[in-house]
Structure 1
């Protein structure tokens, strides 16, 4: 049953080693230090307009959970924090809530606790018929369509027929009264796929790159035969590389997520072209302690982001996106081999 699987996922993500063994690539991104920033740190502005919603910070709580009674407390605490801070919150896949009304409250609690926050709904690309109900369930400000071919490939009984996915996404975009974005679930998005998604009319793309939680790893623990899961544990496009690939290829906002573990990581992602940075595991762990703990995590991210901006001489997020960064190591090799010119980031 879907609800049971949701609980298994929650337990595995909080109690087992399910992270990529390879890195996000952000340790290979260096921001150029400005010894004379010529700005006042206290006047740094990290607010932004995202898909028509005014947000206090580009740090977004990425989709985590829903669909099991145990998820209600987590989404309640995340929503309370999002409401108080004025940030965006993504909900987990809402298929369970649509198919099983008895667990709908595990999602609906978010809007009850966060009446004015930006909430992002979540459905799979093959579930066109769930889109409208998913938005209604949480009075969503936007809808995310998630892509998870890696997880489905490893998951026992997973859906490995993605024929018509782009047509399905286009249909969802055309049928919705709210912006529709697309997000991967931990294996990244390439420039080629980003271009196809933009052609479908999506309003934003969340790269959800490799480097954070590996859903191949999560499903490895659930499988009787762990061979495939172990083999594909680290499959995907590292988050730093995926951020550049997508940001350079489309003209819609890009969310960098997948292993973002600090405000410095977020600053690097934005300097590479992202509009927002999504985090999940850091706040999942905090949610168990209550919304105040979640707020402390986000505030630490914001402070580190502002510090990085100050040291880079960036007073606004637009300034940060135009700041100088050095791309080194495997990330540079990846991007150069893929045809992206990395030296221009250092010579802005």
Structure 2
């Protein structure tokens, strides 16, 4: 049953090591250029952004975590209360469970009930064209995310392995719903080629969810009777820093950089690489048990982002996007082998 699978995913993510083993996000290869004379007032730095349709006080998205099991209701409620108070964006897990099992709908509707003004992101899979309108209705969503998870589907016993026609389905979903549509990976990143295909299909926003954070191959490994496949593909994917460059250099839509970002310094690097916002999920599940915990974590994130912006002399997110940085190491090699000019970031 879908609900049981949702609970298994929650418990595994919370209590097991599900992060990449031998592959990182690549942000250790990104160096922001320190400004000894920033010539700005740190207390005046503006973290707000409006590029996703509503003004948010921080570029932080709490990306899709949960829903579809009674245990998820309290988690989503606490996340919603915190997101509303801090005026940041919040996404939910796949809504298929609520649509196929209406008795689970309150694990999602609790979000809008407790976050009436928050930017909320719904969530369905690419094959689920017939669920799009209902997903938007259940959540009263501002954006509908279509998740892409071919690796997870390949590993999980009940996975959907026929990926034919997904791009056509995505195009139809974009034409069907009357709110913006976001495409999001689930931990393996998005390439420049895929990003172009998605935008050509009508996608308004992209959440790259690159490699280096949660590995859904790892999650499915803990569920499997035979761990061979999950362990083989545990570290599969495009590192987040690399995917951020590939996507932001290739398409002209707002981009969320996510996948292993854990603090405001890494977020600042992602934004300086071209992202408009950043997403985090696992830390809110691992470290947060109450509304107060969530708000404290958000405040720490915002403060570390503000310090990073102060140290590069950026008054706001747009100035941070134009700050100088150096790309080095394996990240530089990967990007240059793929035809991207890494030197353009060093003197802007």
Q: Judge same fold: TM > 0.5, yes or no.
A: yes
- Write the deviation string for residues 217-276 of structure 1: whole angstroms up to 9, x where unpaired: 000111111111101000000000000000000000000000010011110000000000
Please give the secondary structure, in 2, of the residue aligned with 1:178: coil
Aligned to 1:246: 247
Aligned to 1:346: 346
Task: Tell whether the 8 Å contact from 1:34 to 1:311 is kept in structure 2 after alignment.
Answer: yes
Task: Tell whether the 8 Å contact from 2:13 to 2:286 is kept in structure 1 after alignment.
Answer: no
Aligned to 2:104: 103
The runs of 4+ residues in structure 1 deviating greater than 3 Å are none
State the shift of 1:284 in Å.
1.3
State the shift of 1:283 in Å.
1.1
Task: Tell whether the 8 Å contact from 2:208 to 2:240 is kept in structure 1 after alignment.
Answer: yes
C-alpha separation between the residues in 2 aligned to 1:87 and 1:330?
A: 33
C-alpha separation between the residues in 1 aligned to 2:62 and 2:224?
A: 29
Aligned to 2:316: 316
State the shift of 1:40 in Å.
1.0
Aligned to 1:293: 293
State the aligned residue count.
Answer: 347
C-alpha separation between the residues in 2 aligned to 1:318 and 1:304?
A: 17
C-alpha separation between the residues in 1 aligned to 2:51 and 2:87?
A: 12
C-alpha separation between the residues in 1 aligned to 2:263 and 2:47?
A: 15
Aligned to 2:63: 62
State the shift of 1:33 in Å.
0.1
Task: Tell whether the 8 Å contact from 1:44 to 1:306 is kept in structure 2 after alignment.
Answer: yes
Please give the secondary structure, in 2, of the residue aligned with 1:211: coil
Please give the secondary structure, in 1, of the residue aligned with 2:198: helix
Q: TM-score, normalised on structure 1? A: 0.99
Aligned to 2:235: 234
Please give the secondary structure, in 2, of the residue aligned with 1:49: coil
- In structure 1, stretches of 5+ residues that fail to align are none
State the shift of 1:42 in Å.
1.1
- Write the deviation string for residues 162-189 of structure 1: whole angstroms up to 9, x where unpaired: 1011100000000111100000000000
Task: Tell whether the 8 Å contact from 1:214 to 1:233 is kept in structure 2 after alignment.
Answer: yes
Aligned to 2:161: 160
Aligned to 1:5: 5
Matched, 1:80 2:81: yes
C-alpha separation between the residues in 2 aligned to 1:299 and 1:249?
A: 33
Task: Tell whether the 8 Å contact from 1:74 to 1:287 is kept in structure 2 after alignment.
Answer: no
Please give the secondary structure, in 1, of the residue aligned with 2:50: strand
- Write the deviation string for residues 275-294 of structure 1: whole angstroms up to 9, x where unpaired: 00000011112432x11110
Please give the secondary structure, in 1, of the residue aligned with 2:25: coil
- In structure 2, stretches of 5+ residues that fail to align are none
State the shift of 1:52 in Å.
1.6
Please give the secondary structure, in 2, of the residue aligned with 1:55: coil
Q: How does 1:181-330 map to 2 (within 5 A)?
A: 181-288=182-289, 290-330=290-330
State the shift of 1:15 in Å.
0.7
Task: Tell whether the 8 Å contact from 1:77 to 1:287 is kept in structure 2 after alignment.
Answer: no
Aligned to 1:26: 27
